[in-house]
């Protein structure tokens, strides 16, 4: 990620996606699904997240083309998830990881 930049919350506040696993909030939404993979797909134009993972473990999100979305890939309270080889273009955020203890 040669062009990745840290976000200073005072300069560019981030609104978190709502914690709502019971409602649709991504083009692909998974809640507590473990050990699955999504590859070679095209996701475009998600108003929230193109791929949203809620409390998933061991997911592999690879070689997808994601564009024109607010967040390309989102993971909340996940473990051992792997994101690689994805082409994220013209989205506000590429990968947004959140974990609340």
Residue length of the chain: 101
The whole-number average pLDDT for the span 9-35 is 66
For the stretch 33-71, pLDDT in tens is 999 999 999 998 888 889 999 899 999 999 999 999 889
Cα–Cα distance between 99 and 101 in angstroms, integer?
Answer: 7
With a cut of 80, say whether residue 78 has pLDDT above it: yes
Cα–Cα distance between 39 and 100 in angstroms, integer?
Answer: 27
pTM, full prediction: 0.72
pLDDT score at 34: 92
Cβ contacts of residue 72 below 8 Å, gap of 6+?
43, 49, 50, 51, 66, 86, 88, 91, 93, 94, 95
* Burial of 63 (C-beta count, 10 Å sphere; 0-12/13-18/19+): middle
């Amino acid at each position: 990620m040669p062009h990745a930049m840290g976000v200073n919350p005072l300069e560019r506040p981030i609104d978190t996606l709502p914690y709502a696993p019971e409602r649709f909030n991504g083009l692909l939404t998974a809640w507590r699904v473990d050990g699955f993979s999504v590859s070679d797909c095209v996701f475009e134009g998600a108003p929230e997240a193109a791929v949203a993972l809620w409390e998933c473990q061991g997911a592999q999100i690879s070689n997808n083309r994601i564009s024109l979305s607010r967040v390309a890939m989102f993971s909340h309270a996940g473990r051992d998830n792997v994101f690689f080889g994805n082409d994220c273009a013209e989205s506000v955020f590429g990968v947004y990881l959140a974990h609340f203890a």
